[in-house]
Amino acid sequence: MDGFFRFFVPTLAAALLAGLSRADEGMWLYNRPPRELLRQKYQFELTDAWLEHLQKSSVRFNSGGSGSFVSEEGLVISNHHVGADALQKVSTEAKNYLQNGFYARALSEEIPCVDLELNVLQEIEDVTSRVSLAVPAGLGPDAAFKARRRVISEIEKESLDRTTLRSDVVTLYQGGAYHLYRFKRYTDVRLVFAPEQQIAFFGGDPDNFEFPRFDLDICLFRVYENGHPVRVSHHLGWSKSGAADGELTFVSGHPGRTDRSLTMAELEYLRDVQYPATLARLKRMEVLLAAWSGRSEENARRAQDDLFGVQNSRKARDGGHAGLYDPMIMGVKSRAESAFRERLKSHPEHAAAAAAFDRIAAAQEVIRQYRLRYNVLEAGQGFSSELFEIARTLLRAGEERPKPNGERLKEFGEASRPSLELSLFSDQPLYPDFEILRLSDSLTWVAEQLGFGDPTVQKILAGKSPRARAVDLVHGSKLQDVALRKKLFEGGAAAVLAANDPMIELAHLVDAEARELRRTIETQDEVKKQAHAAISRARFALGGTDSYPDATFTLRLAYGMVKGYDENGKTVPALTRMAGLYQRSAEHKNRPPFDLPTRWVKRESALDLNTPFNFVGTHDIIGGNSGSPVVNKAGEFVGIIVDGNLQSLVLDFAYEEVQARSISVHSAAILEALEKVYDAGELARELSTGRRRH
């Protein structure tokens, strides 16, 4: 890793300083697309009709990730690792769909998913003026936060009542703008196809974020309404030839979060405080889950999705953290901030922006002081348990719902209620032994972090060891019963507190302190939000508004070339071929994690081994883009984003075009595998034609 950063960072600095005109940079808003940039660089006209079709073909997985409609009867494609949560929840000890795969040959065989919500963006409305007017200048941070929360809740509720669409006000430019996003919600989603995890994640952790790559990282679902497959007016046509080297392509997906517009004070906090703490926690969890998985096949199945998520997050954050330590990356950002602050001295009309940087630094220092207790008690890191999350949700729902909508915690607003109830009343399987494992370890971590003698720690442990306390809490709780959850939810605070459930009692025990910590952090976030808004106004006034905001897990458009790169003096081609899959497996003597599923071994002779498998491009992506469709200029599906390469892990903080690449599965490989490995010709036909044979 260190050698890599020494090699490419000088080129990163050059790319950063070169500007947008020379780079395929940007996670662009659909209501502010990069029309002129595409016209100048690629002579491509981005029309309203093209944008609307791609927007309404794009799908957000509320569990995290992206996808797209690929047939008129509600067929949705995403990644296997995006669908892993759904696969895990419908699997049993006898049928491990996450590991062994699944194919429904008829509609009647499609498996209903548990608590899976898909969102499709319908409209965007700029509500910045209304939000800003509701928070007059001069309000203190606490009062300003409450005023902002109140008006946002009003906007969301009014929109939901008027349109019935999911309505979320999204903060952009760190508080410089507010847009209302309206989504069509789908909650009857059924599993259609998944390959074996071994081919979806071929090469395992050693090949994760690496290229060349050979992964069939796909999963297919079908959306239903009123018991029948939904008929959609927008879905992507399928390109059989797929992406070609040197071709302009587009990515439409939901990047989760980037930190490119943060100040140096905020980046230094990430580098020195947040990332080290997060990585230590992830590495601890990885060891715990891996050791427990090794004890039995059933343990491994139960922990499979969690372990993959932890390993993936750990590797991604290791790469991002390394970027924060690099003097070239931080140097470019530091010089840019200093230059902007110097420029502000000549513009007294932007005095608020000039003072904003120091206000952000002061707020960040307060957050630093409270970070540990906040993470432990409010962010839930001290209580790693599905049952605890259920208990806290019931407890707070009972307290929040009687309040006026605009005064509630955000997650309990009326606009959020349908999604909240879908999650709360999920009948996902809960395994007591797995709950005890995770909760006992997190309670141990609480004692380590806060100190065994801390009064709150003593109350949490109640005179017992962390494991004994976890055993009592898990075995004593009745919250596995969905019917009981519904009864308590409807009964309100009195019913919840009278339930005599130890997990609810634990949530209640820490709730007052947790709420106060949340209030403190939210107040400081409000300080930062107002400061960033001042900075954004100054940037817009002095440099124009033709820019994109940091990622917010809402739909964005990226563009780039299918293009290889040079690494360690060698050229890495843009595309891999199916032949390379078998070569890589043979190099490792077919040993894990480079072993091939049996059906892939048996069907090798049937395949066209020259078929493109995975490919890379210069698209600007980040976590959350997994499962995003890659389309050509005609708007046809040519691939699906898997993740990025190792060099892309700094894209959280800065775009780099020399070596950073997106990684995708090629559309031709998907058809080849379905037809010749999985005998799923009907499914391949539906993808190719956009229609299901009746």
Give the per-residue pLDDT at 544: 74
Question: For residues 275, 276, 282 and 285, what is the CA-based torsion angle, rounded to 10 degrees?
Answer: -150
- How many angstroms separate the CA atoms of 680 and 672, rounded? 10
- Write out pLDDT tens, residues 450-466: 999 999 999 999 999 99
- Listed in sequence order, the residues at least 6 apart from 257 whose beta carbon sits closer than 8 Å to its beta carbon are 550, 551, 552, 553, 622, 623, 624, 652
Domain boundaries, the chain: 22-117+187-260+552-689, 272-346, 357-548
Q: Establish whether the linkage from the previous residue to 141 is cis, with ω within 30° of 0.
A: no
Mean pLDDT confidence for 574-598 = 97
Residue 647 CA, chain-centre distance (Å), reads 19
Q: Beta partners for 615?
A: 575, 664
- Write out pLDDT tens, residues 345-391: 999 999 999 999 999 999 999 999 999 999 999 998 999 999 999 99
3-state secondary structure of 212: coil
- Listed in sequence order, the residues at least 6 apart from 280 whose beta carbon sits closer than 8 Å to its beta carbon are none
- Kindly indicate the confidence band of residue 607, based on its pLDDT and cuts at 50, 70 and 90: very high
Parallel, antiparallel or unpaired: strands 570-572 and 188-194: unpaired
Mean pLDDT confidence for 57-82 = 97
Mean pLDDT confidence for 14-30 = 67
Q: Which has the minimum average pLDDT: 15-19, 221-225, 405-409?
A: 15-19
3-state secondary structure of 481: coil
- How many angstroms separate the CA atoms of 295 and 284, rounded? 18
**CB 490 within 8 Å of CB 482:** no
**CB 254 within 8 Å of CB 554:** yes
- How many angstroms separate the CA atoms of 563 and 575, rounded? 8
Residue 11 has pLDDT above 90, yes or no: no
H helix runs in 544-620, sequence order: 578-587, 598-602
Mean pLDDT confidence for 8-24 = 45
- Write out pLDDT tens, residues 158-189: 999 999 999 999 999 999 999 999 999 999 99
- Write out pLDDT tens, residues 627-686: 999 999 999 999 999 999 999 999 999 998 999 999 999 999 999 999 999 999 999 999
Q: Which stretch, 19-28, 323-332, 581-590, has highest mean pLDDT?
A: 581-590
- Kindly indicate the confidence band of residue 328, based on its pLDDT and cuts at 50, 70 and 90: confident
- How many angstroms separate the CA atoms of 82 and 92, rounded? 19
625 — alpha (psi -120 to 50), left (phi > 0) or beta?
alpha
The fold of the 22-117+187-260+552-689 domain, in CATH, is: Thrombin, subunit H (2.40.10)
